[in-house]
Amino acid sequence: MEKNIRMVLFKEDQIDQASEAIETLHHQGISEKDISIISGVPFSEKILGRPAAWTNIPIFGIAGALVGLVIASLFNFLTPHLYKMTVGGMPLTPIPTSIVVTFELTMLGLLISILLGVIIEMISPSSGPKGYHPKISDGYIGILFTCPAATDEKTCLELQDMGAEIVDPAEVKQP
Amino acid sequence: MAVEAKPLYSSKATEHQETNAEELRKEHLMLDPMPRDEMNQMVMNAMHTTTKKYWVFLIGFGLAVVVLLFGAWGYMIANGMGVAGIRRPVFWGIFIVTFVFWIGISHAGTFVSAILRVFKAEFRRPFTRAAELMTTFGLAAGALYPLIHLGRVWVFYWMIPYPNARWLWPNFRSPLVWDFLAITTYLLSSTIYLFLPLMPDLAMARDRTTGWRHAIYKVLSLGWRGTEAEWLRLRKAIGIFAFAIIPVMFSVHTIVSWDFAVTMVVGWQSTIFGPYFIIGAILSGVSAVVTILYIIRSTMKNFDYFIRPEHFDGLGKLILIFSMAWAYFFFNEYILSWYGGEEALKQLLTLHATGPSAWVWYLMLICNVAIPWLFLWNKKIRRTPWIMFIITLLVNVGMFAERYTIIPLTLGHQRNPFDWGIYNPTIVEISIVLGTLCLFIFLYLLASRLIPLVPVWEVQEGQMSHTFRKVGKTEIPSVTELE
């Protein structure tokens, strides 16, 4: 069955209508994975009645922090043994002064890996219909959905009755 | 005695309500919403408007950077550190003073953006980016000083965790290596923290530009569309950053203070130097944010809509609180040193207050304590941008004087009288100091026309979550959490 990707826009103050529109799409048998919401400001999934989304950013963060911790431990406790310079009365690998380096490198690992996580997730292929419209950054809420070609006009008209602005498929851009 | 009776409810009540709401709208940006496209247009117009005066300033500061900073630094590299005023007994002079000053300034972005974000202080929204930019550029200017102060700058890589031919690594127990790591961590993390919330605004700029600007914004916005997954990712990343960068910020200035506190120098060996430096850094940083906001508001198109007296008022209160906290730490440090009665310390404190450079010490107290306490309790003053500009400029003069008192004035008067001396910065040193100030202004001027200085999506998010709610006979502003 041939399917089309369509996009409708709601103004920033039409959040209630937008959530109703998503509900309507569900009633028409369009599954969650065939719907994408794009907006100019963040809305929680609950507001739009969408399933909870998932991100691996915290996992990237923890992994980065661990890498930082390991590197710091190597610097603190391994490097003095590579070329020992023993000073009378002083330990070769003191713990209090090592805490500073451990803290800084752990935090550095955490923070850099979060950026890397954001970049990796941004450039990774995502699920759901793709498309974009510059009006989104003007505060519009966009609903992108994939539906059977035979019913897409009818669906769009139904959403238009709810206050949606229908975007011509040719205007739907790929960023 | 005549008593004038007033009715509890008058026919003018509705009119009064409307006036009240109107006044609140005028007062608070969050209660004065504007369509997003108009706000976008205002920010883009501000970015695209470059007058002749702007180019004159930009080129002027650019030239000043070349001549004052790189010219003087090059001269010093060619002729050796002898052209600087640092010599026995004062080996840490105005370079280290300015280094501490810039690192202090850089605390503003994190404080304003991260701490106020964590505590959900709504008034922060329009100026977080201006403050974050200050952090990044302040650190960039400050990070030059360890290199400048090093003298033989070509061996700077000895600080980098990197072994020599004998597998001898840098000594990680040295506070100077801590400094290197802390500043590197803070510079990288504050730059990332500036970048993350910028992505949606870069996408907005991408959609409204053509040519080279469009190409740059397209790359930097990482293909941002505003999907649910992207927003969730951004929220999570900013959330983790806002919490994680706060201890990093505290660590940076604590470690800078340890450069001093771990030594045996009279007047430096103090257990409260860490928090004392942090409070001073936040005081100077928040003051610098006000200074910058005034300049931005007065010189950039449409910024009077985004930056309002309420923001100067809010920041003014913070400055007053931090000025009091700074005074508390200063007094704590001072009285215990004085009470201890150690001869060298007693003489040092007397020298600070009565010696030939006593004016620096009094300048510090006047600018950091007397001026904020005298003026900032007054709401009218806090809400007058130009007065706030002058006050905050003076606070930073005071903070510079504080660092000058702590470093060269203290080093010049240690335990052995035969080794006392007075430090006078040379023209080369002063040029370099002015050069980094010009570098900061130059970078800021450039950035003001390249990136949206107002986080428009954050402002709109705030405006959407603020509404009026009727309580009893009046309407009061209320905030809803959209996230």
Chain A: residue nearest B482 by CA? A43
The answer to whether the beta carbons of residues B395 and B287 sit under 8 Å apart is: yes
pLDDT digits (tens, 9 = 90+) for B68-99: 999 999 999 999 999 999 999 999 999 999 99
| CA proximity to B403, closest of B216, B252, B277, B261 | B277
| CA proximity to B125, closest of B461, B444, B483 | B461
Which of B207, B236, B248 faces A58 most closely, judged by CB atoms? B236
What is the average pLDDT score of chain B? Answer: 90
Tell me: pLDDT of A52 over 90. no
Q: Which of A32, A104, A141, A173 to mutate to test the interface with B (most CBs of B within 10 A)?
A: A104
Tell me: pLDDT of A128 over 80. no
Q: What is the pLDDT of residue B2?
A: 47
A36 touches chain B (CB under 8 A): yes
- Selected residues 74-93 of chain A with any CB under 8 Å from a CB in chain B: 75-76, 79-80, 82-83, 85
Phi-psi region of B88 (alpha: psi -120 to 50; beta: other; left: phi over 0): beta
- Contact list in B for residue A101 (CB cut-off 8 A) is 172, 177-178, 181
What is the average pLDDT score of chain A? Answer: 87
Cβ distance B482 to A105 less than 8 Å, yes or no, reads no
- Overall size of chain A counted in residues: 175
> Once rounded to an integer, what is the mean pLDDT over residues B207-234?
91
β-bridge pairing A35-39 and A3-10: unpaired
Q: What is the CA radius of gyration of chain B?
A: 25
What is the rounded distance in angstroms from the CA atom of residue A145 to the CA atom of residue A128? Answer: 8
Q: What is the pLDDT of residue A174?
A: 67
- Selected residues 28-87 of chain B with any CB under 8 Å from a CB in chain A: 35-37, 40
Q: What is the pLDDT of residue A13?
A: 83
How many CA atoms are closer than 13 Å to the CA of B364, on its beta-carbon side? 20
A132 touches chain B (CB under 8 A): yes
What residue ranges do the domains of chain A occupy?
Answer: 3-53+129-171, 57-123
pLDDT digits (tens, 9 = 90+) for B267-280: 998 899 999 999 99
Tell me: pLDDT of B481 over 90. no
How is residue B39 written in tokens? 């706000």
Report DSSP state, residue A136.
G
Cβ distance A47 to B482 less than 8 Å, yes or no, reads yes
Distance from CA of A118 to the nearest CA of B (A): 7
How many CA atoms are closer than 13 Å to the CA of A59, on its beta-carbon side? 5
pLDDT digits (tens, 9 = 90+) for B320-374: 999 999 999 999 999 999 998 889 999 999 999 999 999 999 999 999 999 999 9
> Once rounded to an integer, what is the mean pLDDT over residues A29-35?
85
B238 touches chain A (CB under 8 A): no
Q: What is the CA radius of gyration of chain A?
A: 26
Cα-based angle B215, B221, B226 (whole degrees, multiple of 5): 130
How is residue B320 written in tokens? 């007053």
State the pLDDT confidence band at A158, using cuts at 50, 70 and 90.
confident
- Contact list in A for residue B480 (CB cut-off 8 A) is none
How is residue B389 written in tokens? 């500009």
pLDDT digits (tens, 9 = 90+) for A147-156: 887 777 888 8
How is residue B192 written in tokens? 């990332």
A115 touches chain B (CB under 8 A): yes
Tell me: pLDDT of B446 over 90. yes
**Choice between B470 and B236, residue whose per-residue pLDDT is larger:** B236
Q: What is the pLDDT of residue B287?
A: 96
- Selected residues 246-305 of chain B with any CB under 8 Å from a CB in chain A: 247-248, 251, 255
Distance from CA of A151 to the nearest CA of B (A): 25
Which of B178, B224, B457 faces A101 most closely, judged by CB atoms? B178
Chain A: residue nearest B239 by CA? A58
Mapped onto helix, strand or coil, the DSSP state of residue B430 is helix
The answer to whether the beta carbons of residues B438 and B50 sit under 8 Å apart is: no
Fold of A3-53+129-171: Alpha-Beta Plaits (3.30.70)
Mapped onto helix, strand or coil, the DSSP state of residue B58 is helix
A110 touches chain B (CB under 8 A): yes
Mapped onto helix, strand or coil, the DSSP state of residue A140 is coil
Tell me: pLDDT of B12 over 90. no
β-bridge pairing A3-10 and A141-148: antiparallel
The answer to whether the beta carbons of residues B324 and B477 sit under 8 Å apart is: no
Q: What is the pLDDT of residue B307?
A: 94
Q: What is the pLDDT of residue A134?
A: 86
Here the ipTM equals 0.92
For residue B331, give every residue at least 6 positions away whose Cβ sits within 8 Å of its Cβ, in sequence order, or none. Answer: none
A38 touches chain B (CB under 8 A): yes
Tell me: pLDDT of B439 over 70. yes
Chain B: residue nearest A13 by CA? B464
Tell me: pLDDT of B108 over 90. no
State the pLDDT confidence band at B466, using cuts at 50, 70 and 90.
confident
Which of A42, A80, A123 faces B231 most closely, judged by CB atoms? A42
Q: Where are the alpha helices (DSSP H) in A42-134?
A: 45-48, 57-73, 79-82, 95-123
What is the rounded distance in angstroms from the CA atom of residue B170 to the CA atom of residue B207? Answer: 48
- Contact list in A for residue B166 (CB cut-off 8 A) is 83
- Contact list in B for residue A98 (CB cut-off 8 A) is 172-173
> Once rounded to an integer, what is the mean pLDDT over residues B21-25?
81
- Contact list in B for residue A128 (CB cut-off 8 A) is 227
Q: What is the pLDDT of residue B17?
A: 64
Q: What is the pLDDT of residue B1?
A: 43
> Once rounded to an integer, what is the mean pLDDT over residues B130-137?
92
Express as a percent the part of chain B with pLDDT over 90. Answer: 65
pLDDT digits (tens, 9 = 90+) for A4-22: 788 889 988 888 888 888 8
Which of B223, B225, B460 faces A38 most closely, judged by CB atoms? B225
pLDDT digits (tens, 9 = 90+) for B279-312: 999 999 999 999 999 999 999 988 999 999 999 9
The answer to whether the beta carbons of residues B331 and B279 sit under 8 Å apart is: no
Q: What is the pLDDT of residue B174?
A: 87
| Helix/strand/coil percent split, chain A, to 5 | 55, 15, 30
The answer to whether the beta carbons of residues B310 and B28 sit under 8 Å apart is: yes
Q: What is the pLDDT of residue B423?
A: 92
Chain B: residue nearest A82 by CA? B167
Q: What is the pLDDT of residue B27?
A: 85
Q: What is the set of domains in chain B, with CATH numbers?
A: 47-164+173-479 (1.20.1630.10)
Q: What is the pLDDT of residue B15?
A: 64
Tell me: pLDDT of B101 over 90. yes
The partner residues of B477 in beta bridges, in order of sequence, read B468
